[in-house]
Amino acid sequence: MTMPLNLPNVISLLRIASIPFLVILAHKGRETAFFYLFLGAAFSDVLDGFIARRFNLKTPWGSRLDSFADFLLYMATLYGIYLLKWNEFGEYRALAALFLVFFLLPDFFSLIRFGTVSHLHLYSWKIGGVLQFAFIIFLFVEGFNDSFFILVWVWTLLAFSENMIIQFLARKPLDNVKTFFWFWRQRQAGNI
């Protein structure tokens, strides 16, 4: 199966290409450059999805490429936060470390169970991504805010839980599930 080379997939590939630069900038302590490249890469995630939906360029390959690019961006961002902002987390470091578990466990579970990583694209996960994006901007512009962090952490826990429940109940790997309720109705109807 070859990848269709459409605009959303090119944008996802550019996001993947930005990852080594994010890692290098973080490693060199270049906080401002890291932050602006992160903003561009994160914006590309919104842009590729919008273009794919708006111009009917959605493909299973593109969905997987987008998920892979998101995964790499998330890991590079966490690495950057660890190197550049970790001291600001203070007493919340253990909770912050759980973000990694929340992010990785669904994919590892899906990989073990179905032989592929998760591509659910749940609304809760997307809302969580927006909250995390806003938190990261706030972190780099204003500094750490414990109330904002707790809000993002709780929402991420809820999204993680929804993801894990769906994957536990699913009979096969699924793409673009939306919500648990959508999944349950489709399952009850025998569609998945």
Residue 174 has pLDDT above 80, yes or no: yes
Residue 156 is assigned to a structural domain of this protein: yes
The pLDDT value recorded for residue 191 is 87
Percent of the chain beyond pLDDT 70?
99
Q: What is the mean pLDDT of residues 144-159?
A: 96
The pLDDT value recorded for residue 103 is 82
Query: Taking the CA atoms of the chain, what radius of gyration do you get in angstroms?
Result: 17
Percent of the chain beyond pLDDT 90?
77
Q: Are 99 and 78 in contact (CB under 8 A)?
A: yes
Query: For the chain, how many structural domains are there in total?
Result: 1
Q: What is the mean pLDDT of residues 133-154?
A: 97
Q: What is the mean pLDDT of residues 99-128?
A: 89
SS3 call for 124: helix
Q: Which residues lie closer than 8 Å to 32 by C-beta, 6 or more apart? A: none
Q: Quick one: pLDDT band at residue 128, thresholds 50, 70, 90?
A: very high
Q: Which two tokens stand for residue 10?
A: 């090119």
Q: Which residue has the higher pLDDT, 71 or 139?
A: 139
Residue 6 has pLDDT above 90, yes or no: yes
Residue 97 is assigned to a structural domain of this protein: yes
Among the listed residues 87, 102, 105, the one whose alpha carbon sits nearest the alpha carbon of residue 31: 87
Residue 1 is assigned to a structural domain of this protein: no
Residue 105 is assigned to a structural domain of this protein: yes
Domain that holds residue 127: 7-188
Residue 2 has pLDDT above 80, yes or no: no
What single-letter amino acid sits at 126? K
Q: How many helices (H) and strands (E) does the chain have?
A: 7, 0
CATH number for the domain spanning 75: value is 1.20.120
Among the listed residues 51, 25, 46, 47, the one whose alpha carbon sits nearest the alpha carbon of residue 36: 25
Residue 103 is assigned to a structural domain of this protein: yes
* 119 bridge partner residues: 175
Residue 78 is assigned to a structural domain of this protein: yes
Residue 1 has pLDDT above 70, yes or no: no
Q: Which two tokens stand for residue 182?
A: 């959508």
Residue 3 has pLDDT above 90, yes or no: no
Quote the pTM value: 0.89
| Segment 25-50, tens digit of pLDDT | 999 999 999 999 999 999 999 999 89
Residue 67 has pLDDT above 80, yes or no: yes
The pLDDT value recorded for residue 102 is 86
Mean per-residue pLDDT of the chain: 93
Residue 155 is assigned to a structural domain of this protein: yes
Residue 98 is assigned to a structural domain of this protein: yes
* 175 bridge partner residues: 119
DSSP 53: H
